[in-house]
Amino acid sequence: MTPRDAVSGNLLSDLPSSPEAAEVFHALLSFGNVRIERIVSTGQVSPEGFWYDQTQAEWILLVQGSATLRFEDELYGRNLAVGDFLYIAPHRRHRVQFTQASPPTVWLAIHIESNEK
């Protein structure tokens, strides 16, 4: 989807009624170096020993549910509740330690690719 079209919807529609096998990612908008998506988690966590190491920056907002996200350079996870947001710099290693299964945890994620080479 690009901004030339009128795009609308509801972040809390069509949520799973029971836990899913994997997180569900739904692209909402992509334009230039920005991608916005809804992520729905129903109890999923990062595999043991796995750390995300993304090339793009990410800004997340917890819309529903609760979650714990931990950065590799911090001793403890950060507990997130509805309305909490967090900026994750490129290559800042992190992992998901907890997501609430019911009601599902809903994230709004904005990914920003760097123009630098």
Q: Tokens 């989807």 belong to which residue?
A: 1
Residue 11 counted as domain residue: no
User: What local confidence, expressed as pLDDT, does residue 7 receive?
Assistant: 75
- Higher-confidence residue of 7 and 74: namely 74
Residue 101 counted as domain residue: yes
As for how many domains the chain has, the answer is 1
Residue 12 counted as domain residue: no
- Higher-confidence residue of 5 and 43: namely 43
∠ CA 83-89-40, nearest 5°, is: 45
User: What local confidence, expressed as pLDDT, does residue 4 receive?
Assistant: 65
- 30: tokens are 């992509």
Inform me whether the pLDDT recorded for 114 exceeds 70: yes
Inform me whether the pLDDT recorded for 41 exceeds 80: yes
CATH of the domain at 53: 2.60.120.10
| CB contact at 8 A, 14 and 24 | no
Residue 9 counted as domain residue: no
Residue 61 counted as domain residue: yes
Residue 86 counted as domain residue: yes
Q: pTM for this one? A: 0.89
Residue 85 counted as domain residue: yes
Residue 99 counted as domain residue: yes
Exposed, middle or buried, 74 (CB in 10 Å: 0-12/13-18/19+)? exposed
Q: pLDDT tens, 67-106?
A: 999 999 999 999 999 999 999 999 999 999 999 999 999 9
Give the domain range for residue 79.
Answer: 24-112
Nearest to 86 by CA among 108, 102, 105, 54: 108
